[in-house]
Structure 1
C-alpha cells in the first residue's frame, strides 16, 4: 500500500495582509512636498467692449534681458545681479511727471513717470539658467517690497506686517507690481 504524500502548501493569506500593512506604512510615512513657486497675481480678463491694452510710453518700460551667456542686461547695459534691485527702485520711484507726492525719485527723462505707470519687462534666452532667472525675480520683488515698506512707514508709520487690509491695498496701489515676462525667440 502506497501512501500519498500531500505536497506542502504555502498559506498566501498572511502575505496579502503583510503587503497591505506595508502599503499603509509607506502611505502614512511618506511626505508629499508642496509645490513651490513664485507668487504672482495674474491679470484679470478684459471685459468685452473695453480696450485694455493701451500703448505704453517707452520711458515707462524698464527692459531687463537675461541672455544665453547668463548676463543680465538692463537697457542694453550689462549689470551684476546686485545692481538689479537698485536700478529697478530708481526706475519705479522716478516721479518723471512730478505729480507723485510720495516718490523720492530724481525725475529723470528716461525713467518712469510714476509707479503706477512703471512696467518691468523681463526677458530671458532659451538657455538662461533657471536659478539666475529666479534670482533676478527675487531682486525685483525686493525692490518693490522696499518701496512699499518705505511708503508704509512714511504714510502710516507702520511696518507692512502691521497694516490693515485697507492700508495694505493702498500701499499696493501706490506701488503696483507690474511685470511682463517673456522668453526671447531665438533666430537660428
Structure 2
C-alpha cells in the first residue's frame, strides 16, 4: 500500500468517515515495522487503540461485579417488599379497627338530649354565657398590657428618632471614608 493512499485513509479516519475495512488497514499499517517517517507520530495512537481493542477481560472480576449488582438488586427488592408488607399490614389493621368501632356504634343510635327545641336553646344559651363570663375575666387580666403599650408609645417614637440619627451618622461616615480614599 502506498503512502498517498494511507494518508487519504488517515484523513478520512480523522473526519470519522472510514469503514471497518479501512480502519483495519490503518491498524495493520501502524502495527507493521515499515511506517513512513512523516506518519511516525501517529503510530503510538494506533498502538494504544489496538491494545484497547484486544480482548483482555478478567472474567473473575466481571463475575464478582455481576454478583455484587445482583445481590444489591435482591436486597433492594427485599427491603421494598418488607416495607410494602408492613404498610399494608398496618393499613389492614386500621381498617378492621375502624370497621369494628363503626359496627359497635351503630348498635346504639344517637338520641337527642332534649325533646323540646326551646329547652335545648335555653341550655345552649346558658352554657355560652358561662363560657363568655370566663372569657371576659381572662380579658380583664390583659388590661395592664394595654396600659404598658400606651405608656411605651413615647419611648418608641424617641427610639425611632434616635435610629434616624444613627442612620445619618452612618451616611456621614461613608462619605468621610470616600473622601479619605480620594
Q: TM-score range by the shorter chain?
A: under 0.3
Give the number of the structure whose residues are more often strand, by fraction: 1
- Look at both structures and tell me which one has the larger radius of gyration over its CA atoms: 2
TM-score where L is the length of structure 2: 0.17
Structure showing greater relative contact order (alpha-carbon pairs closer than 8 Å, 6 or more residues apart):
1
TM-score where L is the length of structure 1: 0.17
Give the number of the structure whose residues are more often helix, by fraction: 2
